[in-house]
Structure 1
Amino acid sequence: MTDVTAYILAGGFGTRLRQVVSDRPKVMAEVLGRPFLYHILDRLARLGIAKAVLCTGYMAEQLETEVGPAYRGLALAYSREDTPLGTGGALRLALKRHPAGLALALNGDSLVEADLAAYLAWYGRRDFQAALLLASVDDTARFGRVEIEDGADGQGRVLAFREKGAPGPGLINAGVYLLRPEALAAIEPGSAASIETDVFPQLAAFGRLGAFAVQGRFLDIGTPESYIAAGRFLRGTGQGGGNGAVFLDRDGTVIAERHYLHDPDGVELLPGAAEGLRRMRSLGLKLVLVTNQSGVGRGYFGRDAVERVHGRLLDLLEREGVDLDAIYLCPHTPGESCSCRKPLPGLIERAAAELGVDPDQSFVIGDKACDVDLGLVVNATTFLVTTGYGAGHAAECGSRAHHVVGSLEEAARHIESILAPPSARGGVEIT
């Protein structure tokens, strides 16, 4: 997708969300342990997009510092607006600074389940100046309704926009747009404009605005209520369907141990890790990474470095057919008073609330005493894995762990036995 540049509208003030997320830009509000922006970037990376431009405004410097220049093969650039320009003005400015023949624009506070590759392919066969990705919802009152020409496949052109406030099912603008630069030509450079009210209705009036409707679920984190529900939305895209999870340490358990790892090139899956995770997933268990990263608190590297490492980890796991449901980290040093540094239970408590899992039905796997003790604190079944620092910790905490294993693949076999019905165990218990 080297001929398409993504533009993420990330500069909104987020007035309604300020009561629950007041110390960061809205797109950096955490969902399932990670800033929401990274859930968007993950989708762009999987699509094969080479470059994304973040249109920044409110708390722009913080966002640019915390995200950095690259992620999962995506080159990241920034277009900062010094005064609020609205969605249309911000895109006009960004396209002037970072030109592209075709823009894939995305609202930074929403997600929709959709085949973006099919959307791009469809648009490439049309001559619209712009096209909206539309989602079907049960109630359009909050978002307004989009009327399109009749068509069995939900694809065609936009006819009209209906005002917000009219209840009932229908199609809404899902916050994803494809457009050519000429679609914004009427906006004066540096002037404020709304793409939703100043650009799209005019294009629709001249038959130049396409519509690509999908049936996938839609998420907007713009209100406290929808933000709280965001974890459930993202959880619904995962494969684990039960109440149990496997809580996994990162370094020395899933990937090779590196001293204060902050370079994605240093990420290496341990032998048996991918196969073990696949087997755990097949049991209906959610896969959740819980990791202490005090290098952030010590100032050795920033959160952006941690996310690049996690992006590389996701790349490697996805190639092996494995998805993680969530990644939670503690950035604090041992001397800070936090509730999330392992073996304290804060990370698992967050995961239980957002993922709906029961620690009593779950497993904790790691290579250090703090991982074993974390599992014991939350009443989970514990595994000490002898990769990483595990062999050196066996004498200290091996007797406290329920199981001591040599790899995640071996741990998966134990979990299979634990979860198997008694009739399937053949009277043999693995210890």
Structure 2
Amino acid sequence: MPLLILDRDGVINQDSDDYIRSLDDWKPIPGSIEAIATLSKAGYQVAIATNQSGLSRGFFGLEELEAIHNHLCSLVEEQGGEIAGIFYCPHLPDDGCDCRKPATGLLRAIETELSEPVAERYFIGDSFKDLQAGRAMGCKPVLVLTGKGEKTRLQLESSNNDLVDSSSIPIYADLAAASRDILSCYLS
């Protein structure tokens, strides 16, 4: 079963500079839940890799994070799909961990836990860090313009960008559009 990796905030749900602190703050982007379910039903093993420094900052606890993730999984299951795993980094940006994107620890954890290589697999994100992490592990990065996606597209287009080859990164309006295109290639 092919693997597909998603970022969470800004790809699946609305993002916030104030952090998604509770289930009340968590709002799915229109079409994202259906897209995940459709990918899953088509045979993709969908994993989520997300930075969640709000834990270390004390903005929310593990209970709130688990409530959000349980709700996300339930919504996908109601649509007939499944999320293979949700992998998160709780660390602050300056902690020096190996799991906070753009580091690759979350992707290595996905490989280990799901017994599936991430190289040559899609990694759909909205941030430059997502694209960098994906590239570092040999993934096929995809950018969506929701969340921080518009800002990231501008970064990609800047002449100062030499960290990620932007010419080969497909860009879509949102997860639903990206999934339709991925499925059209996969199913044909």
| TM-score interval, normalised by the smaller of the two chains | 0.7 to 0.9
**What is aligned with 1:395?**
154
Instruction: Tell me how far apart the structure 1 counterparts of residues 173 and 150 of structure 2 sit (CA, whole Å).
Output: 9
Question: Are the counterparts in 1 of residues 6 and 49 from structure 2 also a CA contact under 8 Å?
Answer: yes
Cα shift at 1:330 = 0.1
Structure 1's 401 and 285: CA in aligned 2 closer, same or farther, altered over 3 A? Answer: same
Question: Which of 240, 249, 256 is the matching residue for 2:7?
Answer: 249
Instruction: Tell me how far apart the structure 2 counterparts of residues 281 and 361 of structure 1 sit (CA, whole Å).
Output: 18
**What is aligned with 1:279?**
38
Instruction: Tell me how far apart the structure 2 counterparts of residues 362 and 265 of structure 1 sit (CA, whole Å).
Output: 32
Question: Are the counterparts in 2 of residues 245 and 361 from structure 1 also a CA contact under 8 Å?
Answer: no
Question: Which of 172, 176, 187 is the matching residue for 1:409?
Answer: 176
Question: Are the counterparts in 2 of residues 262 and 309 from structure 1 also a CA contact under 8 Å?
Answer: no
Unpaired runs of at least 5, structure 1: 1-241, 425-431
Cα shift at 1:400 = 5.6
1:349 lines up with 2:108 in the alignment = yes
Instruction: Tell me how far apart the structure 2 counterparts of residues 388 and 416 of structure 1 sit (CA, whole Å).
Output: 23
1:262 lines up with 2:29 in the alignment = no
The answer to which structure, 1 or 2, has the higher relative contact order (CA under 8 A, 6+ apart) is 2
Question: Are the counterparts in 1 of residues 52 and 91 from structure 2 also a CA contact under 8 Å?
Answer: yes
Unpaired runs of at least 5, structure 2: 158-165
Cα shift at 1:358 = 1.5
Code of the aligned partner of 1:305: E
Instruction: Tell me how far apart the structure 2 counterparts of residues 358 and 285 of structure 1 sit (CA, whole Å).
Output: 13
Cα shift at 1:320 = 2.4
Structure 1's 390 and 261: CA in aligned 2 closer, same or farther, altered over 3 A? Answer: same
Code of the aligned partner of 2:98: S
Q: Which is higher, the Rg of structure 1 or of structure 2?
A: 1
Code of the aligned partner of 2:51: N
Instruction: Tell me how far apart the structure 2 counterparts of residues 389 and 276 of structure 1 sit (CA, whole Å).
Output: 19
Tell me which protein shows more strand as a share of its residues. Answer: 1
Cα shift at 1:287 = 0.6
Cα shift at 1:274 = 2.1
Using the aligned pairs only, state the percent identity: 31
TM-superposition CA deviations, 1:189-212 (whole Å, max 9, x none): xxxxxxxxxxxxxxxxxxxxxxxx
Cα shift at 1:401 = 5.6
**What is aligned with 1:190?**
none
Question: Are the counterparts in 2 of residues 367 and 385 from structure 1 also a CA contact under 8 Å?
Answer: yes
Code of the aligned partner of 2:32: A
**What is aligned with 1:358?**
117
Code of the aligned partner of 1:411: A
**What is aligned with 1:332?**
91
Q: Report 1:410-425 matches (<5 A).
A: 410-420=177-187, 424=188
Structure 1's 419 and 360: CA in aligned 2 closer, same or farther, altered over 3 A? Answer: farther
Cα shift at 1:348 = 0.9
Q: Report the RMSD for the aligned CA atoms in angstroms.
A: 1.7
Q: Report 1:30-429 matches (<5 A).
A: 242=1, 244-258=2-16, 259-397=18-156, 399=166, 402-420=169-187, 424=188
Instruction: Tell me how far apart the structure 2 counterparts of residues 278 and 302 of structure 1 sit (CA, whole Å).
Output: 28
Instruction: Tell me how far apart the structure 1 counterparts of residues 117 and 94 of structure 2 sit (CA, whole Å).
Output: 30
Instruction: Tell me how far apart the structure 2 counterparts of residues 412 and 316 of structure 1 sit (CA, whole Å).
Output: 17
Structure 1's 334 and 405: CA in aligned 2 closer, same or farther, altered over 3 A? Answer: same
Question: Are the counterparts in 1 of residues 34 and 76 from structure 2 also a CA contact under 8 Å?
Answer: no
Question: Are the counterparts in 2 of residues 386 and 406 from structure 1 also a CA contact under 8 Å?
Answer: yes
TM-superposition CA deviations, 1:350-388 (whole Å, max 9, x none): 110110112123110111101111111111111110011
**SS, match of residue 357 in structure 1:** coil
Code of the aligned partner of 2:179: A
**SS, match of residue 353 in structure 1:** helix
Question: Are the counterparts in 2 of residues 342 and 374 from structure 1 also a CA contact under 8 Å?
Answer: yes
**SS, match of residue 107 in structure 2:** helix
Question: Are the counterparts in 1 of residues 21 and 60 from structure 2 also a CA contact under 8 Å?
Answer: yes
Code of the aligned partner of 2:122: F
**SS, match of residue 261 in structure 1:** coil
